[in-house]
Amino acid sequence: MLPQQFVLLYLVYGFAFVNLGISALQQSSKLNSNFAFVNNIKYLGYFGVAHGITEFVTMLTWTGLYNDYYLQMFVFNSLLKAVSFVALFLFGANLLAPKFKRYFSFYISTVFSVWLMIFIFLGVRHGFVQHIDQPIYNIIFIRYFMAFPAGVITCIALLTDASAIRKSKIYKIAIKYRALAIAFLVYGLLDGLIVGYHDFFPANLINNDMFMEVFGFPVQVAKTLTGITINLLFLRIIYIFNWERDEKLQQLNQSKLVNDERRKLGREIHDNVIQDLFATGLQVEFAIKKEDDDLQQKLLLDIKKSINHSISSIRKFMIRDSSKVIDVEEFNENVKMLVEQFDKIIDAKVSFAYRIPDYNLGKLTKDTATQIYYIIQEGLSNVAKHSEASKVEILLTSSINTLEVRIMDNGIGFTMSETSSKNIGLNSMKQRAKQISGSFQINSEKNTGTEILISIPWGNISEQN
């Protein structure tokens, strides 16, 4: 290929990653989600912007316009390229389980620190031009120890997340996750393993010349196509995230409209129907007092009894419908009011944290919200009766797969053999959790407080919907 064609390739390649980075950073400030992908999207943004700029700098070196600054551009490019791979590595590591995240974060920070110290030391001692003349050190650390593992880790993390998302029945995002995982794996292979020919393994076997011989086109073409693919897949995933979020919010708004209509109907029944029936009852009662005929009196008494029964039935319906069922859109507010009530009547300080995005709230059913409300109520009652705590925490959180309720206190605690006096309350909580396909777990020891954890799978909640 001609130098002008390489310049064009690096321009397109750099633009694809800069666009990816800017889009990711913009979305990181907009989206609020329990998806690890969204919560760590900023690292993908840093990677995209930094990596795109390095390709622009490489493009400038191909033009030959700034040869006087070649060394400075090389040093800048090396530093920025290493930073970009660290950002991609952290993006992938943060999608994994915490225990793996710790190890991988330690690995990449160690590799980067060692590379940076030696890079600066050799540059100061022998001149940075040595890194150009003898690139083995940079290739091993930046390409083999950073770029390639970053692509592999990101691929594994996205595939793991895709499986979890598939269980939540969000199939469109799961498919795009898998495609993006493969794209990052290809990227890791191309940018991490395919380097210029050098007289050391594996650069003497796996290199740009080998790629050209096998595929018939330069590796830069494959890199550019991979960058464009990653960019398009990312934008598609964000589009689906936004669409899913809007759909859930629309469902939530529709549910709110339905419940508003029900409350309006309840008020109309109370203001019109019940009042009319009550007035009719008074009229019948007046007629009874004025009528002498025994049969008519009996009929009128039956009518009055029937009317009173209707009034009682309607009242029972309204009480049952309005006080025992928690509306989804008012779930947070209802729990907050419950916590505030207990905070006033018990000696302990009760705090409440609610961390469920609206995106997930749309998947919540009225029955699930109601059962959770009464589980928390029963938990607070148990604290008031038995714990002697000075501090109580209620925490509602969500992840990709579950909705979690934690009730924690710093009271006297108990052993499981001592729960006979509390069995009714605890069994009630356990049964309510079971009704909504949730798990119920108690952690408590003498004088260490108590923690109750209820975990409800989103998948089961969605099936109820």
pLDDT at 47: 96
Residues 404 and 454 sit within 8 Å (Cβ to Cβ): yes
End-to-end CA separation in angstroms for the chain: 58
Q: Please state the separation of Cα 400 from the chain's center in Å.
A: 6
Residues 349 and 391 sit within 8 Å (Cβ to Cβ): yes
Please state the φ and ψ torsions of residue 32, each to the nearest 5 degrees.
-125, 110
Residues 307 and 276 sit within 8 Å (Cβ to Cβ): no
Close Cβ partners of 242 (under 8 Å, ≥ 6 residues apart): 31
pLDDT at 458: 72
231 three-state secondary structure: helix
Tens-binned pLDDT, residue by residue, of the chain (465 aa): 656 777 888 889 899 999 999 999 988 766 556 677 888 899 999 999 999 999 999 888 888 888 889 999 999 999 999 999 999 999 999 998 777 888 999 999 999 999 999 999 999 998 999 888 888 989 999 999 999 999 999 999 999 988 887 876 677 888 989 999 999 999 999 999 999 998 888 999 999 999 999 999 999 999 999 999 999 999 888 887 776 666 665 655 555 555 666 666 655 555 555 555 665 665 566 666 655 566 566 666 766 666 666 666 565 555 554 445 666 667 888 888 888 888 887 778 899 998 887 666 656 778 888 889 889 988 888 888 788 888 999 999 887 778 899 999 998 888 766 665 446 678 888 888 988 889 999 988 888 889 999 998 875 554 444
pLDDT at 321: 47
pLDDT at 334: 85
| Separation between Cα atoms, residue 441 and residue 453, nearest integer Å | 5
pTM of the model: 0.64
pLDDT at 48: 95
304 token code pair: 């009055």
Fill in the amino acid letter for 427: N
Supply the DSSP symbol for 203: T
